Amino acid sequence: MTYSERVYSDLKAKNPNQPEFLQAAEEVLEALAPIVDTDPKYEAVGLLERLVEPERQIMFRIPWVDDNGKVHVNRGYRVQFNSAIGPYKGGLRLHPSVNLSIIKFLGFEQIFKNSLTGLPIGGAKGGSDFDPKGKSDMEVMRFCQAFMNELYKYVGADEDVPAGDIGTGAREVGYLYGQYKKLTNRSEGVLTGKGLSFGGSLARTEATGYGLVYITEELLKDHGKNIADSRIAVSGSGNVAIYAMEKATMLGGHVISCSDSNGYIIDENGIDVEAVKQIKEVERKRLTEYLKYHPEATYGEGSLWDVVSCDVALPCATQNEINKEQAERLVGTGCFAVCEGANMPTDAEATQVFLDKKVLFIPGKASNAGGVATSALEMGQNSIRSSWSFDEVDAKLKGIMINIYYHMKEACEKYDAVDNFVVGANIAGFMKVADAMMAQGIV
């Protein structure tokens, strides 16, 4: 057994009930094999064993009271995975499906993603099985305050800086920040994705979706294709999906779909992004409402990936939303590029289909890194007590995404895996973290 195989086998034995975490770890360990199995210096310092074990995992009770006076108890998580290159950084997910496996997979991915941005930020993730859907603003506020009543002990501007993720948008970040300030009496950049009136950065809301489209544009250009000539399928209708659709449309792409957890919209006239914003960001309603704006569009229940045909797929909803059959279908109907907006939306078998069929495929840890990169820019602005213009932040974001693309590409070429960006992203992300861990000794 090679070093990376042994580490994965031990990890599997130790964490049998964490399928999402094991899936993410297996992909990374396989991609790193050409490096870690050929140079004994990594095994000599137990580097992989340390890399796959979080530095700290915190789980706690979140008791809160609903509008009818009923007490609810949710479970809160913060997994501080790796701080070798900087303070822990990663979002907070609020969704009923949240469990330790999902938070560990997201925190593990975050290590490499944050490294790829070129900025000094370590990897973490957190969240709760609380479902913000259908809750009043006051209930969401009371939940967020209860969450922060415990979380504040472990976070700080130079220690751990959480942000948004599924179910955690500007409203939730505002309530979390308010409670942190109340508890600590400190006005500091402890969270990113804050409102513009209290330390938020321009372009942070747009950053993950815009960044996804910038890297997709570079990928297509580099392969003699053009976003403006492409038929683009987007899934999801949250923060990432909305701004991916907006930027792709601005660049002349023909965006024909979006979805939520109930169903999907296909609009051959091009998705009306303003209508989706109104439904999802303002009214917080279901996507069926889209038909009120555009009755000629199609609404279907189930998965978008069972029906849509496109040149470019941008999955922006959640993990494992594309399976093997759906990947084969997409390839069969002419899809030539898949760039992940969500974290791990393509399952392991589907990823293999895309790689085998030479579909241009960029994994989320590279293609959705624009969100955390801009969060790090928000941290920078907070620490110098200044703010930059939208265009300044957007230009930096675009530069970072293009850098990630070429950094990945270079790693692909160096390790004889041309156009295999799964290998390229993992290796490029790993090298800096590994160097820092080696330099800092066994800690």
Instruction: Give residues in contact with ligand NDP (CB under 6 A).
Output: 164-167, 208, 236-241, 260-261, 316-318, 341-343, 368, 371
Minimum gap (Å) between residue 239 Cβ and ligand NDP: 4
- Cβ contact 283:275 at 8 Å: no
Backbone angles phi and psi of 263, in degrees to 5: -175, -165
Backbone angles phi and psi of 165, in degrees to 5: -170, -160
Q: Which residue has the tokens 């160096």?
A: 414
- Give the Cα separation of 331 and 6 in Å (integer): 34
Look at residue 74 and give its three-state secondary structure.
Answer: strand
Nearer to ligand NDP, 245 or 330 (CB): 245
Nearer to ligand NDP, 265 or 316 (CB): 316
Here the tokens at position 198 are: 């209290």
- Give the Cα separation of 335 and 285 in Å (integer): 31
Q: How remote is the C-alpha of 179 from its chain's centroid?
A: 25
Q: Which residue has the tokens 């059959």?
A: 325
Nearer to ligand NDP, 47 or 203 (CB): 203
Minimum gap (Å) between residue 200 Cβ and ligand NDP: 13
Minimum gap (Å) between residue 47 Cβ and ligand NDP: 26
Minimum gap (Å) between residue 33 Cβ and ligand NDP: 26
Helices (H), 117-231: 137-151, 170-184, 204-222
- Give the Cα separation of 238 and 272 in Å (integer): 14
Query: 44: number of CA atoms within 13 Å, CB side?
Result: 6
Between β-strands 88-94 and 231-235, what pairing exists: parallel, antiparallel or unpaired? unpaired
Here the tokens at position 410 are: 């270079």
Backbone angles phi and psi of 141, in degrees to 5: -65, -45
Minimum gap (Å) between residue 98 Cβ and ligand NDP: 10
- Give the Cα separation of 228 and 211 in Å (integer): 16
Minimum gap (Å) between residue 323 Cβ and ligand NDP: 13
Nearer to ligand NDP, 87 or 363 (CB): 363
Here the tokens at position 385 are: 């007590």
Residue 125 falls in the annotated catalytic set:
yes
Region for residue 261 given its phi and psi (left: phi exceeds 0; alpha: psi -120 to 50; beta: otherwise): alpha
Minimum gap (Å) between residue 341 Cβ and ligand NDP: 6
Consecutive H or E run containing 125: strand 122-128
Q: Which residue is nearest to ligand NDP (CB)?
A: 238
Backbone angles phi and psi of 198, in degrees to 5: -135, 45
Nearer to ligand NDP, 273 or 316 (CB): 316
Among residues 194, 187, 244, which one has the least CA distance to residue 362? 244
- Give the Cα separation of 59 and 150 in Å (integer): 10
Minimum gap (Å) between residue 260 Cβ and ligand NDP: 3
Nearer to ligand NDP, 220 or 372 (CB): 372
The active-site residue out of 89, 125, 398, 409 is 125
Between β-strands 160-163 and 298-301, what pairing exists: parallel, antiparallel or unpaired? unpaired
- Cβ contact 354:420 at 8 Å: no
Nearer to ligand NDP, 149 or 237 (CB): 237
Minimum gap (Å) between residue 87 Cβ and ligand NDP: 17
Annotated catalytic residues are 125
